[in-house]
Amino acid sequence: MSDKKTIVVALGGNAITREHEEGTIPQQFANTRRSLAGVVDLIQMGYRVVITHGNGPQVGNELIRVEEAARLVPFLPLGILVADTEGGMGYMIEQCLQNVMHDRGVHKEVACLVTQVLVDKDDPSLKNPTKFVGPFYDESRIETLRRERGWIIKEDPGRGYRRVVPSPAPRHIIAQNVIKLLVENGIIVIAAGGGGVPAYREENGWLEGVDAVIDKDLASAVLGAEIGAQELMILTEVERVALNFGKPNQRFLDRITVAEAQQYFDEGHFPSGSMGPKIQAAINFIQSGGERVVITSIDKTTEAAHGRAGTVITP
């Protein structure tokens, strides 16, 4: 069905670190291996695959490590931590993918790129942090953390309280031509991990890093559009998108147009901390020339590729 179509597969945070887990490296490797079974199915179906991934839990943990060790070693800024997690998590995904493909008899090369993503240095979100990172906290600890550590903490609706950091909108994937060249030559690419490393251009043309975390779904949409991908698959914790989520009148959506997605988005059905960025990414991708977006759970990747699961958004 793919006829050598290019698909960007955006792995959610639960692909590597699951809620209520400690998040040890063995757990992360085990979760990653499970998450990639459906991705290998896509490869065997003939898709050219680009993999992106989130890093919210991991980069939040890295911030804690840096702050705890501040008296012993030099402080590392958030932009560097995004690059660090993109490299480390990319290594896990690359190795796990190679192992799963080996067991399936699939012979493909894999490349992982630490990817810079252009943002606006005056993006208003830099002064209004919204991106959830790190572990969840009980409400009883919030004021202490705010007072003692200077964190900005907000409620992740229905899940608990988490630290938030700035999250500017992605404008351009700086290595888009490299990624496209690799994909066109049959190489599976892991890129824009954690949304990519945010950077802006100085007046003299130099690149400069930004201490922020870009939303990986929004970055995936930009990446997909710039390399000419036909499809975007966003893998998350739920099988389908729902209106009135968690309420008695909840209604799941199987197939909607981009206009309907925009209408539901404008009506406030998709919170900014959960489904909102995914729907916005889907809208952006379709409006930029994409043919199809599928939002589904990691366990339903294969079924969704065949149209038997997930929410499909089309022009």
13 assigned to active site: yes
Q: Is 186 left (phi over 0), alpha (psi -120 to 50) or beta?
A: left
**Three-state secondary-structure class, residue 183:** helix
| Pairwise CA distance, residues 164 & 159, whole Å | 14
Annotated catalytic residue, options 195, 224, 278, 284: 278
Please tell me which residue in 54, 90, 216, 310 is annotated as part of the active site: 216
**Catalytic-role residue among 13, 90, 273, 290:** 13
Catalytic residue selected from 14, 31, 55, 61:
14
Helices (H), 151-240: 176-184, 216-226
Residue 3 neighbours by CB under 8 Å, 6+ apart? 46
Q: What are phi and psi of 179, to 5 degrees?
A: -60, -45
Q: Kindly report the number of other CB atoms within 10 A of residue 72's CB atom.
A: 6
- Rounded to 5 degrees, what are φ and ψ at 50? -120, 130
The count of residues in the chain is 315
Catalytic annotation on 14? yes
Which is catalytic among the residues 31, 61, 90, 131? 131
The DSSP-derived string for 129-141 is --EEEEEEE-GGG
**Annotated catalytic, 131?**
yes
**Catalytic residue positions, numbered:** 13-14, 131, 216, 278
